[in-house]
Amino acid sequence: MTDEPYRWLEAVANRREYIRDQLKGATPVFAFSRPEGILLCGVGAGQSKIFEIYDRHGLAALGHPVDIEKIRQALIEAAHLEGFTRAPEDVTVRRLLNFSLGPALKGAFEQVFSAPLIVEGVFAEVGSAPGTDVLARFSYDGTHRLETGGIGVAHAAPEREAAAAAWLAKHAGGGAPLAQTVNAALAAWQALASADGAFPEEVPAAPPDLGGRLVELALLERAGPGRARYRALDASAWAHHG
C-alpha cells in the first residue's frame, strides 16, 4: 500500500509523455488582440480548429478532433448556463476556466484508467478596448495562464511556442495591418512546421505554401450590432497584403 502514491505519480508521468507524443504532429493556433477585435487563426487539414463559444468568446485549439469537440461542447453548455442563471455580461473566460474548462481537463488528465483529453489551445474574450481583451493559454492537464502581451500561441513544444510568440510580438503587434498579422501568423505556422524551425527576418509579402492545408480565420469584433461578436473571415481575401 505504501507505494500506491508513487505508482500514481509514475502513471501520471507516463500519461503526460503519451499526450505530448500524440500532440507532436499537431499544428499551432494563434490569437491576436487588435484594435478591431481578437483575430483567431489556425491551419489544418480539414478539421476545424477555430470555434465560436459565446457572445464575446472564441476558441482556437489543436489536438484530437474528438477531444476538441468535447471541450467545445462543455464550454458552450457552461457559458449558456452561466448566462442564463446570472447574466450574459457575467460570462467570462476567467470564470469558465476556473469552474468549467480547467477542472474538466484536470479531472480527465488525472483519471489514469480512462482516456485523457488530447488538446491544447487559446480561449479568448473580446473587451470594449484592447486593454480589456483576455487571452488564456490552456493545456491538457487543466493548467492555464493569461497572456499579457496581446498574443496567444498554442503549440505542442513549449520552447518553440515561446519563440513564435516572441517573433510575432515583434512583427504582428496590435498596430500592424490585419493582412500583415495574418501573413505573420502563417509565416510562424510554417516555421513551427518546418524541419529547421527558422523564422524569417521579416513578414513575407505573400502567404507561404501551406501544402494543401486550409486556413481558418475568425474575428471577435469589438463592436457590432448584436451580442454575438464572432465573425468568420474569408482566408483567401485576407491572407495577403493590400
Residues linked to residue 180 through DSSP beta bridges, in sequence order: none
- Amino acid sitting at position 147: E
Check pLDDT > 90 for residue 226. no
* Domain positions in the chain: 45-231
Q: Does domain 45-231 have CATH number 3.60.20.10?
A: yes
pLDDT at 39: 97
237 band by pLDDT with thresholds 50, 70 and 90: low
Of 176, 172, 171, 101, the closest CA to residue 141 belongs to: 101
The torsion angles phi and psi of 190, rounded to 5 degrees, stand at: -65, -40
Q: Is 156 helix (H, G, I), strand (E, B) or coil?
A: coil
**In 161-196, which positions are buried (b, 16+ CB within 10 angstroms) versus exposed (e)?**
bebbbebbeebbbbebebbbbbbbbbbbbbbbbeee
pLDDT higher at 3 or 109: 109
Q: Crossing angle, helix 4-22 and helix 102-110, to 10 degrees? A: 110
Q: In angstroms, rounded to a whole number, what is the distance separating the alpha carbons of residues 117 and 66?
A: 9
pLDDT, position 9? 85
Determine the Cα–Cα distance for residues 64 and 23; give it in Å rounded to an integer.
8
Q: Where are the beta strands (DSSP E) in 28-89?
A: 29-34, 37-44, 50-54, 57-63
| Neighbour order of strands in the sheet with 144-147 | 50-54, 57-63, 119-125, 134-138, 144-147
Q: What is the pLDDT of residue 5?
A: 76
Residue 96: which of 72, 115, 114 has the closest Cα?
A: 72
Sign of CA dihedral 8, 12, 17, 22: positive
Residue appearing with cell numbers 476538441: 68
Residue-wise pLDDT tens digits, 180-211: 999 999 999 999 988 788 999 999 888 888 88
Torsion sign over Cα 82, 86, 92, 95: negative
Average pLDDT, rounded, for the chain: 91
Please name every residue paired with 220 in a beta bridge, in sequence order, or none if there are none: 38, 230
**pLDDT over 90, % of the chain:** 72
- For residues 220 and 134, the answer to whether their CB atoms sit within 8 Å is no
At 53-100, the pLDDT tens digits run: 999 999 999 999 999 999 999 999 999 999 999 999 999 999 999 999
Query: Residue 242 — pLDDT band, cuts 50, 70, 90?
Result: very low
pLDDT of residue 240: 44
Task: Over range 40-65, report the average pLDDT.
Answer: 94
Q: Binning pLDDT at 50, 70 and 90, where does residue 1 land?
A: very low
Kindly state the percentage of the chain with pLDDT values over 70: 96
**Looking at beta carbons, which pairs linking 3-12 to residues 24 or more positions away fall under 8 Å?**
8/112, 11/112, 12/109, 12/110, 12/112
Three-class DSSP category at 206: coil
Tell which residue, 48, 26, 29, 23, has the closest CA to residue 168: 29
